[in-house]
């Protein structure tokens, strides 16, 4: 069902994701507790567009940007599948590997928690603590998204960005 395009300004305010430092500190604290309890290797908080919000625990071996994009893509595809099957959403995805596994969990409306874990723990532990953490993260994210935030980029960001573009191309 098509929706009418929103007014551009309203659209931008609603859609832009702005994270301040203390937001991310709160999110990090929750994720750190989760990692400690679940014994998972690392956790990535990714927005639905594929942008990484924060990563805690061990670093990912390859590009975190690419992993984040693929996580978002994987979740988006599953969501569409759920819709076609009459489900609103498959809120949890699990991919099992021989050494590492990954669980993806929807947090609120527009964020995903990806947990990478290995033989030091098991799926039950990860799922249990992820479920608990999801609720707390959702509260923090809801606060963030409910506020209209000013992105206080430097006034000369535009000019400098243009210079950087000139240099790059």
Task: By CB under 8 A, name the binding residues for another protein.
Answer: 2-6, 8-13, 15-21, 23-25, 47-54, 62-63, 65-66, 69-70, 73, 76-77, 80, 150-151, 153-162, 164-169
Q: Are 43 and 54 in contact (CB under 8 A)?
A: no
The nearest distance, CB 35 to another protein, in angstroms, is 18
The nearest distance, CB 136 to another protein, in angstroms, is 18
Q: Both tokens of residue 132?
A: 């608990």
Q: Which is nearer to another protein, 77 or 118 (CB)?
A: 77
**Closest to 60 in 3D by CA, of 28, 30, 102, 24:** 102
What's the half-sphere exposure (Cβ side, CA atoms, 13 Å) at 1? 2
Q: Which is nearer to another protein, 124 or 166 (CB)?
A: 166
Q: How far is CA 49 from the centre of its chain?
A: 8
- Angle separating helix axes 21-38 and 123-146, nearest 10 degrees: 170
The nearest distance, CB 45 to another protein, in angstroms, is 11
Residues in the chain: 169
Q: Which is nearer to another protein, 6 or 128 (CB)?
A: 6
Q: Which is nearer to another protein, 77 or 128 (CB)?
A: 77
The nearest distance, CB 163 to another protein, in angstroms, is 8
Distance CA 129, CA 13 (A): 33
Using DSSP, state whether 108 is helix, strand or coil: coil
The nearest distance, CB 19 to another protein, in angstroms, is 4
Q: Which is nearer to another protein, 60 or 121 (CB)?
A: 60
């Amino acid at each position: 069902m098509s929706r009418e395009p929103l007014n551009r300004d309203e659209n931008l305010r609603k859609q832009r994701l702005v994270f301040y430092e203390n937001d991310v500190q709160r999110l990090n604290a929750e994720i750190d507790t989760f990692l400690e309890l679940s014994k998972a290797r690392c956790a990535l908080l990714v927005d639905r567009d594929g942008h990484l919000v924060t990563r805690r625990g061990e670093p990912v071996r390859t590009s975190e940007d690419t992993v984040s994009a693929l996580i978002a893509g994987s979740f988006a595809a599953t969501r569409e599948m759920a819709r076609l099957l009459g489900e609103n959403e498959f809120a949890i995805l699990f991919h099992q590997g021989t050494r590492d596994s990954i669980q993806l969990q929807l947090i609120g409306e527009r964020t995903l928690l990806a947990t990478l874990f290995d033989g030091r723990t098991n799926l039950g532990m990860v799922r249990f603590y992820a479920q608990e953490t999801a609720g707390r993260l959702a509260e923090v994210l809801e606060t963030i998204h409910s506020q209209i935030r000013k992105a206080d980029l430097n006034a000369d960001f535009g000019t400098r960005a243009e210079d950087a573009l000139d240099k790059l191309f």
